[in-house]
């Protein structure tokens, strides 16, 4: 089949690669001059299925108020007259209960664990390199209350047989030796040894090159205007370079996906949550992280990427505003300076911002839609890098009408209730069978 993938971030390129591996003729369209130049460019660098969890957790409202009052706040809300923002926030709060949290985290872990396995298989098959390390994630706790609260996450990890270890301070220092210099600042940690790290930008560019070898055509510098339809299926994608046609279409445009599919009656609750990162050179090997350290208090990750340290985090609700606000660098500077004071050179740090496409329940939207030849791969939030390979694989399977290797229940647009039967209908050659 001829398939058009809209978006050349890590999600879109992964989808294109697996589609091409399955024998399809694939074209990727993106407004940028190359792959991974938006949200995939400088994310936190974590491939962290064990840390996959929705923001909508019990006690979210109290935590949000506390966070916004902190000096180095992990959360900033800039109110706008934007119905989509407030609708998303209300849906987020509606999911902030124990039952929803366990369901949503279970869905996320299922896809993330599968994706990590797909990434490993891809690495073994192709030899792709991207400053990868497989040394786990260490979630560090600064208070005993945080240690106690980890019990809920550990119960879900047990259910999905995800390995972990609850560590005391000495255990944390054994995993991350540089933390010995700041032992008085932490009380313990949760080690997720199956997690990995890597440079998402380098991975996406390398995978795009492999996809090109398989015959994928990349049309960069091409703005996507709209999708055309005959009322039953997509008939073309209108760009500033003309209309492109195919047998099937995959929307992988992150935060911009909802506006493209809204004319089809698909009201995707995907909203941009702005994040920031720093990338700084390592100046002292002994003072740098070995893998990823997640500061539970500030919700900021400090990750080793080759000879660099990536510091990523903070959440800012401000619509599609990509202004690089100097004041939001403070939390990043604080965490890396507090936990790894001797590791990197902050004076040479690259400061970056991007828009994470978040759903209110934390779970991405992948797979078929009620529109016969339209598929989605969006809404991954902070876990696009973690879930990219698995999401690309399952969407490629769905487009080709093959049985996916994991249960897709709760991962498709059907979970929002509208036209659920249509969204679950099996596909043949990328086209859903008509309802009886």
Q: Which two tokens stand for residue 305?
A: 């990427």
If we measure between CA atoms, which residue out of 430, 434, 404 comes closest to residue 250?
430
DSSP, residue by residue, 34-64? SSS-STTSS---EE-GGG---S--TTHHHHH
Q: Does residue 10 have a known ligand-binding role?
A: yes
Q: Does residue 390 have a known ligand-binding role?
A: no
Q: How far is Cα 138 from Cα 117, in angstroms, rounded to an integer?
A: 20
- CA angle in degrees (0–180, nearest 5) for 203-312-392: 35
Backbone φ, ψ for residue 44 (5° rounding): -65, -15
Q: Does residue 416 have a known ligand-binding role?
A: no
Q: Which two tokens stand for residue 37?
A: 């130049």
Length of the chain: 436
Task: Name every residue whose Cβ is closer than 8 Å to that of residue 242 and which is 6 or more positions away in sequence.
Answer: none
Q: Does residue 9 have a known ligand-binding role?
A: yes
Q: Does residue 367 have a known ligand-binding role?
A: no
Q: Which two tokens stand for residue 32?
A: 């940028």
Q: Which two tokens stand for residue 412?
A: 């498709």
Q: How far is Cα 314 from Cα 332, in angstroms, rounded to an integer?
A: 8
Neighbours of 294 (CB within 10 A): 25
Give me the helix-helix angle, 384-399 and 200-213, nearest 10°.
20
DSSP, residue by residue, 66-80? HHHHSTT-SEEE---
Q: Does residue 4 have a known ligand-binding role?
A: yes
If we measure between CA atoms, which residue out of 39, 111, 80, 116 comes closest to residue 357?
39
Q: How far is Cα 388 from Cα 128, in angstroms, rounded to an integer?
A: 15
Pairing of the two strands 374-378 and 248-251 = parallel
DSSP bridge pairs for 2: 25
CA 413, 415, 419, 425 dihedral sign is: positive
Q: Does residue 11 have a known ligand-binding role?
A: yes
Backbone φ, ψ for residue 250 (5° rounding): -120, 120
Q: How far is Cα 29 from Cα 343, in angstroms, rounded to an integer?
A: 40
Residue with tokens 């998402």: 200
- What are the helix (H) ranges across 296-378? 329-339
- What are the helix (H) ranges across 275-373? 329-339
Q: Does residue 12 have a known ligand-binding role?
A: yes
Q: Does residue 15 have a known ligand-binding role?
A: yes
The answer to whether the CB of 366 falls within 8 A of the CB of 383 is no
Q: Does residue 28 have a known ligand-binding role?
A: no
Q: Does residue 5 have a known ligand-binding role?
A: yes
The annotation places the binding site for FAD at: 3-17
The annotation places the binding site at: 3-17
């Amino acid at each position: 089949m001829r398939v058009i993938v809209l978006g050349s971030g890590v999600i879109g390129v992964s989808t294109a690669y697996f589609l091409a591996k399955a024998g399809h003729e694939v074209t990727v369209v993106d407004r940028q001059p190359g792959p991974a130049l938006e949200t995939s460019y400088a994310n936190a660098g974590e491939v962290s299925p064990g840390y996959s969890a929705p923001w909508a957790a019990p006690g979210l409202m109290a935590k949000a108020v506390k966070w916004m009052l902190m000096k180095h706040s992990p959360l900033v809300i800039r109110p706008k007259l934007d119905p989509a923002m407030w609708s998303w926030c209300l849906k987020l709060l509606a999911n902030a209960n124990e039952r929803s949290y366990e369901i949503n985290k279970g869905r996320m872990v299922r896809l993330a664990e599968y994706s990590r396995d797909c990434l490993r298989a891809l690495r073994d098959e192709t030899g792709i390199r991207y400053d990868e390390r497989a040394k786990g994630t260490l979630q560090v706790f600064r208070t005993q209350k945080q240690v106690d609260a980890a019990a809920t996450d550990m119960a879900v990890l047990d259910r999905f047989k995800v390995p972990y270890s609850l560590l005391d301070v000495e255990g944390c220092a054994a995993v991350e030796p540089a933390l010995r210099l700041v032992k008085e600042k932490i009380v313990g940690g949760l080690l997720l040894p199956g997690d990995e790290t890597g440079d998402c930008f380098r991975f996406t560019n390398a995978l795009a090159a492999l996809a090109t070898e398989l015959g994928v055509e990349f049309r960069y510098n091409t703005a996507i205007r709209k999708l055309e339809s005959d009322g039953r299926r997509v008939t073309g994608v209108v760009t500033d370079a003309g209309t492109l046609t195919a047998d099937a279409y995959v929307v992988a445009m992150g935060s911009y996906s909802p506006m493209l599919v809204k004319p089809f009656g698909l009201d995707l609750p995907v909203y941009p949550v702005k994040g920031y990162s720093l990338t700084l050179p390592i100046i002292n090997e002994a003072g740098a992280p070995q893998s990823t350290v997640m500061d539970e208090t500030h919700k900021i990750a400090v990750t080793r990427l080759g000879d660099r340290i990536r510091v990523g985090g903070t959440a800012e609700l401000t619509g599609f505003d990509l202004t690089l606000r100097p004041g939001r660098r403070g939390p990043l500077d604080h965490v890396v300076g507090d936990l790894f004071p001797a590791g990197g050179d902050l004076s040479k740090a690259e400061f970056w911002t991007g828009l994470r496409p978040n759903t209110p329940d934390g779970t991405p939207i992948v797979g078929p839609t009620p529109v016969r030849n339209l598929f989605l791969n969006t809404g991954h939030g902070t876990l696009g890098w973690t879930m990219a390979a698995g999401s690309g694989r399952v969407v490629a399977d769905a487009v080709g009408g093959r049985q996916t290797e994991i249960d897709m229940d709760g991962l498709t647009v059907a979970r929002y209730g509208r036209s659920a039967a249509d969204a679950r209908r099996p596909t043949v050659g990328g086209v859903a069978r008509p309802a009886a």
